[in-house]
Amino acid sequence: MKVGVPKEIKVQEHRVGLTPGAVREYVAAGHSVIVESNAGVGIGATDDHYRKAGAMIADHAQDVFASSDMIVKVKEPQPSEWSQLRENQILFTYLHLAPDPDQAKGLINSGCTAIAYETVIDAIGGLPLLAPMSEVAGRLSIEAAGSALKRSAGGRGLLIGGVPGVPPARVVVIGGGVVGFHAARMAAGLGAEVTILDRSIPRLRALDEQFGGRARTRFSSLEAVEDEVFAADVVIGAVLVPGASAPKLVSRNMLSSMRKGAVIVDVAIDQGGCFETSRATTHADPTYDIDGIVHYCVANMPGAVPLTSSQALNNATLPFGLALANKGFAAVLESPHLRAGLNVHRGRLTYRAVADSLGLPFSTIEQAAA
């Protein structure tokens, strides 16, 4: 199969769909890889690195899209990219379609087969291609919160870990999944007072054991969310409903009862965000203020550390990408893991949570493939 890797064009996105090491694996498996010139510059990978790995280099993205059977990316395609996709071409990347009707319609109109990293599952129902970026984003969320808490950034002027004789920041993490765990781990490691909210009792038990008293756990009722958010210096939004829009757990009205200069970090912004006042921001302009509360809502947080992120992502995506390259769409039909990743096929939405979020018709894979 001909596998194409265009340069990412989303603002401040420096990751790359395939590292040179991953290209070697595809070439060794008998596939050809075409990489857009300078696609790997954000991770320090030159065109020569890709040539040595066995890739061909294309001067323009149009050449990559036109000559490839499968496109491997990191972030969702932008308008200039989805217009270049075509029927029977596979797109393998993060999509986050639920809050993005324009992209969904663009992919539907293209006729391509779009497989979303964020909905591919593993043998136990986990999300193996979302997990590595969730780990990165969870850890970065505390770094971002620490910067936003500075008075010069509009925050309370508070050091997350405090100092001897001065209390640390109170950090509330809403959601105890991969993002929430890593955010809490970083915050606790810095000495913050950490509370994790989740609606799964088994998950709360597991977190309680993992943290061994270094973080509190609390069932995420409406009352608990209000109690904790109102007393927090930092609130990390780490709630995920696979493929669907994130639930809005903190309303605009609640901001007035929060501490002035408190910081909200919405890691769920790719899925629309879990705070009513969230709107996507960029690394170039990451924060804004509403009612005295600093909002950090960067939609591609792991893009800030592209070397770590690209390597971690490629480690996870490689076996799935090779399966697609080896068998094409047949790999989707054969694998329950890739079936869960299929969001669009031949002009139809094949992931129910996305279809429901967008109010568009849903088709089974068999209906779409007929």
C-alpha 71 chain-centroid distance:
18
Give the domain 2-127+306-369 fold: Rossmann fold (3.40.50)
What percent of the chain has a predicted confidence (pLDDT) above 90?
A: 94
Q: What is the pLDDT of residue 241?
A: 78
- Its CATH class, for the domain covering 131-304, is alpha beta
Q: Which letter does DSSP use for residue 281 in this model?
A: B
Residue 236: pLDDT over 90: yes
List pLDDT tens digits, range 147-163: 999 999 999 999 999 99
List pLDDT tens digits, range 187-225: 999 999 999 999 999 999 999 999 999 999 999 999 999
Give 281's pLDDT tier (boundaries 50, 70, 90): very high
Please give the angle made by the CA atoms of 183, 186 and 188, to the nearest 5 degrees.
Answer: 105
Q: What is the pLDDT of residue 245?
A: 82
Check if 14 is active-site.
Answer: no
Q: Among the options 270, 295, 337, 345, which is catalytic?
A: 270
Q: What is the pLDDT of residue 295?
A: 98
Give 37's pLDDT tier (boundaries 50, 70, 90): very high
Strand partners, 34: 4, 56
Asked whether the CA dihedral 339, 345, 306, 146 is positive or negative, the reply is negative
Q: What is the pLDDT of residue 14?
A: 95
> What pTM value is reported for the model?
0.89
Q: What is the pLDDT of residue 257?
A: 97
Q: What is the pLDDT of residue 72?
A: 98
Give 176's pLDDT tier (boundaries 50, 70, 90): very high
Q: Which letter does DSSP use for residue 118 in this model?
A: G
Strand partners, 296: 265, 287
- The mean predicted confidence, pLDDT, of the chain is 96
List pLDDT tens digits, range 109-142: 999 999 999 999 999 989 999 999 999 999 999 9
- As a whole number of Å, the CA-based R_g of the chain is 21
Residue 12: pLDDT over 90: no
Residue 243: pLDDT over 80: no
**Which amino acid belongs to residue 144?**
A
Residue 244: pLDDT over 80: no
DSSP-assigned states of every residue in 219-268? E--HHHHHHHHHH-SEEEE----TTSPPP--B-HHHHTTSPTT-EEEEGG
The answer to which of 35-39, 128-132, 244-248, 254-258 has the lowest mean pLDDT is 244-248
The CATH 3.40.50.720 portion of the chain extends over: 2-127+306-369, 131-304
Q: What is the pLDDT of residue 240?
A: 81
Rounded to an integer, the average pLDDT of 306-332 is 97
Q: Among the options 96, 182, 337, 345, which is catalytic?
A: 96
Beta strand spans in 89-245 (E): 90-93, 113-116, 170-174, 193-198, 216-219, 234-237
Check if 60 is active-site.
Answer: no
Asked whether the CA dihedral 19, 21, 23, 26 is positive or negative, the reply is negative
Other CB atoms within 10 A of residue 71 CB: 24
Distance CA 269, CA 236 (A): 11
Q: What is the pLDDT of residue 11?
A: 85
Burial 86-100 (b: 16+ CB within 10 A, else e): eeebbbbbbbbbbbb
